[in-house]
Structure 1
Amino acid sequence: MRIAGMVSRGVVLLLVMGVAPALAQSDRDELPSLRVLSFNILQGGGDAAGVGFANRDFGGSRHDELAAVIRLSQADLVGVQEDDSSARLLAALGDGWKRRGSIYSRHELTPLHDSKWMTICRVRLPSKATIVIANCHWRPSGYGPFLVQDHLRKHGLPDDLAKFEQQILASSDKTRGDRGYRQTLEAIRPLLAAKETVVLTGDFNEPSHLDWTARAAKDGMDRWVKNATGVPLRFPLRWTGSRLLADAGLQDAYRTAFPDEVRHPGHTWTPPYAENTPGRRPYGDQVLDRIDMIYFAGPRLRVRSAAVIGESRDAADIVYDGRWPSDHRAVLAVFDIVP
C-alpha cells in the first residue's frame, strides 16, 4: 500500500498517427481525447501469494499499487480483468470514479450487459455524446504459444507449416463457452450493426495474427525466454480470435499506433519473476506475447497514441516506479474524438 511519490517517472511514447488524413495536425491537437486502459489485475487485487504476489510484499494490499498504475495512465475508462465484487479498487482510485461490473470510468456509465466474464456499458462523454465500451476475459486454457512450445520440445521444426498452423489453431480454439469468441462477437455485432462507436478491452489469452506474421517469423525475436530447442519460437500463425474481431470490423488500437510488429512487439505477458516463484513455470520457459488488447470501431474514434505500461523501460512505454502489482502489463490507447 506504499504509494506516495512512486509514479513520478512515467515515460510515454506518443505517436500521433495519420489515420485521419482530412484532419490537419492543428485540428487533431484541438480535438477532445479519450484515454482507455485495459488491465488484468490478477485475482481481484487480493492476496495472490500462490503465484508470487503476496499481500505482505505490497504493504498489506495491492489495490493502492493497482490504482496508482491506473492514475499514472490518466485513463478515463478502464476495462479490468480478474476483477472481483469488492469495492476495494474503486475506493483506492478515490473520488470521481464510477464502476459498473468490470468497467471503471470517470464518466457516467449505463450498464447494457454484465456477466462474470463480460461487461458492456454506454459511456456519456462530457460533450453529451455516447460511446459503448465492452470488457471481456477469454479463457486461458489451451494457450496457443505453450502448445507451440510443446511441439518444438517433442518434434522440433514442423515439416508442414500449414498443417502445423491448423493443429495449433484447433487445439487452442476458444469458440464456445462464456469465455470465448462466440460470446464476445454475439454481444458486439448488434452494436456494430447499429453503427455505434465501440471500444473493446480484454485479456484475450491468445496472441494476434497482426503480431505472428511472416515478417515477424523472419525478422522478429524468439518469443521463448530461454529456448533450448534450437528452433526459434516465431512462426506465422493466423490466430482465430483476432481475425474474427477484425472481420467484424474492429481495429487493434496498439497495432494501429505501432504497425511495425517487429520493432514494437508490445508484450503484455509477462513481467519477469524469480525462478522459484510458487505456482508458475520457470521464467525461462515463458513465452513473451501481446495478449491484452484494446479494439475499437466507429467513425468517431481516431487513434492518437498507444502505450504498454509496465515495470521497466526495456519492456514498457510508460514505466511505473513501484513494485509491479500484476502478472500482466497494462495497455493504454488514446483516441481523438472526431465530431
Structure 2
Amino acid sequence: MAAFTYRTCTFVGVVLVFLTMCVPECSSQAQPQITANGLFIAGQEKSLVCYITTAETVNNFPLTWSRDGSNLTASEERTVIVTGSVKNYNSFYKLTVQPSDNGETFTCTANLPSGTTTASWTAYVYKGPDDPVVTGPSTVVSDVPSTWTCVVDGSSGTASNVYWQFGNGSRIDSGTFNNVGEDYRDTNNLQIHKTTSTLSLTLTTGAPNFGLACYAVHFNTNIQKVTRRSITVTSPPVPKEPPPISLGLAVLIGVMGFLVVASIVVIAIYVKGKRQDKGIINRTEDADSLPDDSMHPVNSKPSSSGTN
C-alpha cells in the first residue's frame, strides 16, 4: 500500500490541504522482485527478470545478479520513468537451462542510497524424456508371437506417457503392451521417472515391410520423443524332402551291404564248423574212456577139477 502525507499551503488567506502521494523513501525501503518466464525446462533458453521501483537518485544502475555467491553479468538492463522522479529498473539474466541448474539460487541485489536489499529465486528444473530405446527382433516369422521392449528414461516432474504405433500411424491397443514405472534421484537431485514398456504381437505376412514406433510424451515440458523400427515378416519354413540318392552312392551302399551280409555268413559258418569239430572231439574222448572187454571177460566160469 502506498504511503500518504499531507502538504499544507496558504492561498488568499485560505488554508488548503492537498493530499499527495509520498515518494517511496517516506515509507518502507523499496524491495527488488524476481520473476521467471515459465517453467525452467532443460535445454531451453529462459530469462530471469529482477525489477525495483524507487524515487531515490542513483548514479549507477542499481541491480546486480549473483548465483550461489558468484557474480553474474546481466543480459539486458532497462530504466523506465514512472512519474517524476519515480523510476522502474529492470535487469534481465538469460541462460540455457541445464539439469545442473536444479536447486541453484539466483540472487538480485539492489544497491540504493538508503541501503542494500536482495531478492532470491531457486530454480526447479523440468527435464523431458530421453530418446526411447527399442529392443527386439528385426525379423519375425509369420503367426509366431514376438516381443519388443521400449525403455523411456530421463523425465522429471511427471512420468512420460509411453505408447506404441504401427508404421502406418495407427495406434496399438494398450491391451497388447504393459508399462512398468521406476523412480530415482539423479546426480542433480532431480526426481527422474523411467518407464519400461513391453509389447507382444503376432504378425502375419500381409505386411512384409512392417513398422513399429515407440512414443514418449511428457506433459510438463510438452516434449515428445519417438523411436521407429522396421520389421520384416517372413513365412514359416517349409519342410524339405530328403535329397535323392545318386547312383554311385546307391552302388556303394549296395556293396557295403553285401560285404556286411557276406561277413555275417562267413562268421556263422566258421562258428558252426568250430562247434561241429568240438562235438567230434568230445565223442572221441568219451569212447576212449570206456573199459576194455578183453581184459574183463563176461560170464566166465571157474574150471572144475577133482577125483571121482
Which bin holds the TM-score, normalised by the shorter protein? under 0.3
Hey, which of these two has a bigger chunk of strand by percent? Answer: 2
Hey, which of these two has a bigger chunk of helix by percent? Answer: 1
Radius of gyration: which is bigger?
2
Superposition TM-score, scaled by structure 2 size? 0.24
Structure ranking higher on relative contact order (CA contacts 8 Å, 6+ apart): 1
